Amino acid sequence: MTRRFTFSRYASLAPALCLAIAALASTGTAMAAEPQLLGSFRDWNAFSYEENGNKVCYMSSRPKKDEGNYKQRGDIYVLITHRPAEKSLDVVSVTTGYTYQPNSEATVAVGNQNFKLFTDGDTAWARDERTDKSLVEAIRTGSAMVIKGTSNRGTTTTDTYSLSGTSQAYEAINKACNVKR
C-alpha cells in the first residue's frame, strides 16, 4: 500500500489556508485550532496546532525561484510534518500550485542525492517512511533543494528552495511535539 491514502489529508496544511482554518475554528465547527508560529528560521517557518486533542507540528518554506512556461500558478511550498499521536513523523509533502500530470512523479535533488515522489492532485509525497527520513536528513544537511514536476497540461516546472534554517526549524517542531531525535 502506498502512502497516498494515509497522508493525503496533509495537503490541507498549506500556510495559505491557515486563515481558513482559523475562521472555521472561530465558528466552533473545526477540528483543528489555528496554527501557532513556533519561529522563523531564515528561510523556514515552524508551526504547531491541536487537532482532535493531539498536537501536530510542521515546518514550511516557499521556493526562492520558480521556473516554467506557465501563465498562472497557485501556492508553492514544502512541508515536513509530525503527527506523534499517529506515530507519523518526518512526512514530506510538496504542493506545487497546479495539478500534476496523472501517474507522474516529482523529482527532488538535494546536493548529489535524488528522490522520486509520487503525485496526487497538486501534492507529491514520498512512497514510504524510509524515503521521508532520508529526504528530511538531506534537507537538514543540504544548502539547496530543486524540485521538478510536470503539470496535467504538460508544463514542466523547476522550483529551487533554500535550506537555510532547516535544522533550527526541525528542532523547533521536534521540541513542540516532544519528538526525540
Average pLDDT, the chain: 87
Q: What is the pLDDT of residue 31?
A: 59
Q: What is the pLDDT of residue 33?
A: 83
**Could you tell me which residues are beta bridge partners of residue 151?**
100
Query: What are the cell numbers at 163?
Result: 535550506
CATH of domain 6-176: 2.60.40.1880
**Gap between the Cα atoms of 169 and 165, Å rounded:** 6
Contact 157, 151 (CB under 8 A): yes
Domain ranges of the chain: 6-176
Q: Which of 68, 79, 59 is nearest to 124 (CA)?
A: 79
In which region does residue 178 sit, left (phi positive, over 0), alpha (psi from -120 to 50) or beta (all else)?
A: left
Q: Which residues of the chain have pLDDT under 70?
A: 1-31
- 150-169 pLDDT, tens digit per residue, is 999 999 999 999 999 999 99
Those residues with Cβ within 8 angstroms of residue 159's Cβ, 6 or more apart along the chain or in another chain: 63, 65, 66, 67, 76, 96, 146, 147, 148
